[in-house]
């Protein structure tokens, strides 16, 4: 099957708009007091292959990843720690009780429970490339589809999946995946990372496609491990139940074309909790963006620090993958 790249319009509707002055390797400084003006002329990164011009393009996206710079594990942390809301929060408790998520998760290991939650939500709300709902909570997304058959894009699906995982005691966050293109990312994709305590590691999960990835020895892989294996050429095993609208997913299309293009740079919310992505008046949305070393921070684009009409955004940049993928802290509030 062919994967549809989400449009820039849908991304701009789903994600907060950002802009930045890059004053150093870690700092993003707000510079605008209102909505951004027209988008600047796109620019290319020296040494990188061009990104796809469309769904029919034959660009080798794995080769683009191979040309990306390494991460800088010596880079110091200059952004706050990621936080994850406790399942005891009243709103998350209400979500868990309303949808009987304890029963959905069932018995067994933590990874078995996480997979059942993924499969359950994948069947609740399908993906469509549409404008997101104004209130991005799992309950609103599920109930809207039940009553109006209004599906959602990958970003709202990931936000809802995060709340479902959090309500069941799993640490999870959305991961916005983009290509190497600036300032127009040529679409993108949003998935989840969920921390599995028995493994002591993050695991790749995609509610849009009911997807998770293993290696040749049946070990579950993280998003970072999937990215590195695409670069190294090591085996990747897509779960056989992965699907899009009940059409089985092709590993070649999904991993080596679609995800290989969009796993170049990644952005996550700093705080994962109930209703953390609704753009309420006066709200501050904070993100951390992971870029390979040598990638030029976009001077201004749709996904960087800015002050909007009713809400504000701060995006911190890092080249340190260990900081971006650090295990959850003991204090998660």
Range of the domain at 32: 8-324
Residue 276 lies in a domain: yes
* Residue 210 falls in which region: left (phi positive, over 0), alpha (psi -120 to 50) or beta: left
Residue 2 lies in a domain: no
The pLDDT tens digits of the residues spanning 144-171 come to 999 999 999 999 999 999 999 999 999 9
Overall domain count for the chain: 1
Residue 49 lies in a domain: yes
Place of tokens 């994850």: 84
Most confident of 18-27, 31-40, 45-54, 172-181: 172-181
Q: What residues are paired with 285 via a beta bridge?
A: 313
Mean pLDDT of 46-75: 68
The pLDDT tens digits of the residues spanning 278-326 come to 999 999 999 999 999 988 665 544 457 888 888 899 999 999 999 999 9
* Longest Cα–Cα distance in the chain: 53
Q: Report how far residue 165's alpha carbon sits from residue 92's, in angstroms, rounded to the nearest whole number.
A: 10
Residue 172 host element (H or E): strand 172-178
Tokens of 54: 């469309």
Q: Is the pLDDT of residue 262 over 50?
A: yes
Residue 333 lies in a domain: no
Residue 330 lies in a domain: no
* pLDDT at residue 254, as a whole number: 97
The pLDDT tens digits of the residues spanning 84-118 come to 999 999 999 999 999 999 999 999 999 999 999 99
The pLDDT tens digits of the residues spanning 210-229 come to 999 999 999 999 999 999 99
Residue 14 lies in a domain: yes
Residue 83 lies in a domain: yes
Residue 329 lies in a domain: no
CA distances 2 to 7, 91, 190, 313, 332, Å, are 15, 38, 17, 34, 39
């Amino acid at each position: 099957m062919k994967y549809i790249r989400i449009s820039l319009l849908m991304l701009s509707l789903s994600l907060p708009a950002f802009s930045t002055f890059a004053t150093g390797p870690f700092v993003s400084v707000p510079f605008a007091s209102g909505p951004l003006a027209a988008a600047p002329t796109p620019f290319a990164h020296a040494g990188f292959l061009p990104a796809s011009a469309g769904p029919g393009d034959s660009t080798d996206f794995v080769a683009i990843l191979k040309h990306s710079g390494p991460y800088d594990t010596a880079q110091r942390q200059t952004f706050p720690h990621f936080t994850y809301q406790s399942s005891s929060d009243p709103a998350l408790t209400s979500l868990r009780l309303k949808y009987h998520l304890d029963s959905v998760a069932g018995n067994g290991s933590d990874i078995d429970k996480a997979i059942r939650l993924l499969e359950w939500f994948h069947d609740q709300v399908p993906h469509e490339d549409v404008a997101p709902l104004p209130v991005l909570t799992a309950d609103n997304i599920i109930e809207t589809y039940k009553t109006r058959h209004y599906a959602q894009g990958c970003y709202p699906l990931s936000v809802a999946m995060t709340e479902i995982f959090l309500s069941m005691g799993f640490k999870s966050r959305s991961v916005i995946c983009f290509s190497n293109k600036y300032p127009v990312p040529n679409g993108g994709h949003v998935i989840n990372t969920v921390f599995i305590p028995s493994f002591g590691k993050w695991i790749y999960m995609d509610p849009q496609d009911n997807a998770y990835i293993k290696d040749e020895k049946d070990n579950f892989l993280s998003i970072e491990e999937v990215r590195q294996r695409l670069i190294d050429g090591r085996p990747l095993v897509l779960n056989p139940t992965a699907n899009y609208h009940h059409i089985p997913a092709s590993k070649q299309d999904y991993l080596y074309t679609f995800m290989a293009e969009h796993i170049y740079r990644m952005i996550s919310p700093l705080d994962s909790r109930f209703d953390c992505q609704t753009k309420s008046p006066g709200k501050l949305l904070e993100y951390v963006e992971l870029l390979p070393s040598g990638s030029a921070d976009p001077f201004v684009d749709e996904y960087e620090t800015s002050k909007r009409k009713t809400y504000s955004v701060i995006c911190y940049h890092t080249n340190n993958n260990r900081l971006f993928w650090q295990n959850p802290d003991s204090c998660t509030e």
